[in-house]
Amino acid sequence: MNSETPQDSFQRITEWAPTPSVDLLETLAAVEAFFNRYVVFSNRAQSPVIALWVLHAWAKDAFDYTPYLHIHSPEKRCGKTLVLDLLGLLVPDPWPVVGPSEAVLFRAIDANAPTLLLDEVDTIFKERDEKSEGLRGILNAGFKRNGSVPRCVGQGHEVKNFSVFCPKVLAGIGRLPDTVADRSIPITLSRKTRQDPVERFRLRRVIAESEELRARLQNWSTSAFVIEELRNAEPAMPSELGDRQADVTEPLVAIADLAGGDWPERARNALLELYASHRDPESDGVRLLRDIKTILQSQNLTRIKTSVLIEALFEIEESPWAGFWEPEWKRGNTKGPAQRLAAILKPFGMTPKTLKFADETEAKGYSESAFEDSWTRYT
């Protein structure tokens, strides 16, 4: 039975201090410089995170999680394929692929655990069909070391669990499905201009230039000391990261801590900056919770009638409620908007109740106390 207290755990984590590695410092700097020579990054936090990600791919045996890199842009010709080409020169066992079938993907990962470089991922998830759902399942499971998918094989349809854990880069235009994005570090690229100071990428020349750097990465990853240090690492993660974000990015922070120098601070700041600049749009439910909180607090109310709440929601110009419900409300159909409001709030544990108000009338409405737990958790 584990008798360790939270205080003991915190002390153990904060006391973990790896010996800084001069060679690792030089290798990280060289990998970052390699990408900066050819790629126009739209954010200064992107190149150090990519450099750390490359090293994590070589040391994947030390970690329980792997963060996906989501290389994306709003339009074509922003450098996504270039980043994939550069990654392919440095990562272990690169597997560049476009549009793989589900069967090809889980069999190849189970057999070889490559570094998957998946291009045009937006075309896979354009339609929600059987193929895209199967691939989504592989990506949802494959960020954890024990991640696997069960599939029937052979004439006897025997069920076999296929391992789908491996480092993955997903490149494409636009957004990923929410469950896959939750496992990914967002790297948003912009189209370069003629004034951007980067070298032109020539594959034959760059292959030759990358060989020495790749050899350094391989030598570093074959050190039993390095793998053991990283396997035992418990780096302090920024509290601003969500639980899933902290889990998947811990390998990068562990490598930064092992390197020493300014990398521990750079890594943490870079991750916070990338996630902060790429927040997912709020769901209707979270937006509604936030707007109700604003209404109740601005009017100093502890309870509110459903009809009054709906009309107050219409007044919030930057929110969608007027467009959703106001035309119907003005035609006299007050029941429809009230039911849809209740439907959005129900998953958060709230339902309208008959309440007594200051004017001594009773009406359906909501009390402030019913929202407090959800406000704490979601807003």
**Taking the domains of the chain in order of start, what are their residue ranges?**
8-276, 284-378
CATH 1.10.3470 fits 284-378, yes or no: no
Q: What is the pLDDT of residue 15?
A: 42
Average pLDDT rounded to a whole number, residues 171-192: 87
Q: For the segment 300-355, what is each residue's pLDDT rounded down to a tens digit?
A: 999 999 999 999 999 998 888 988 888 889 888 889 899 989 989 988 888 999 99
Q: Is the pLDDT of residue 9 over 60?
A: no
Q: In this structure, are residues 56 and 173 in contact, taking their beta carbons and an 8 Å threshold?
A: no
Between residues 182 and 251, which one has the greater pLDDT? Answer: 251
The b-or-e profile of 184-193 (16+ CB within 10 A means b, else e) is bbbbbbeebe
Average pLDDT rounded to a whole number, residues 18-45: 86
Q: What is the pLDDT of residue 76?
A: 78
Q: Where are the alpha helices (DSSP H) in 113-195?
A: 121-124, 130-141, 178-181
Among 79-88, 121-130, 257-266, name the one with the lowest average pLDDT.
Answer: 121-130
CATH C-level class of 8-276: alpha beta
Task: Give the span between the Cα atoms of 360 and 354, in whole angstroms.
Answer: 12
**In what helix (H) or strand (E) does residue 208 lie, and over which residues does it extend?**
helix 203-221
Q: What is the pLDDT of residue 242?
A: 86
Q: pLDDT-based confidence at 18, cuts 50/70/90?
A: very low
If you search the block for the tokens 């109700």, which residue do you land on?
292
* 130: amino acid identity, one letter: E
Q: What is the pLDDT of residue 128?
A: 66
Q: What is the pLDDT of residue 12?
A: 38
- pTM for the model: 0.73
If you search the block for the tokens 């969500």, which residue do you land on?
242
Q: Which residues pair with 95 in a beta bridge?
A: 116
Q: In this structure, are residues 96 and 84 in contact, taking their beta carbons and an 8 Å threshold?
A: yes
Q: What is the pLDDT of residue 225?
A: 86
What does the block give as tokens for 218?
């391989």
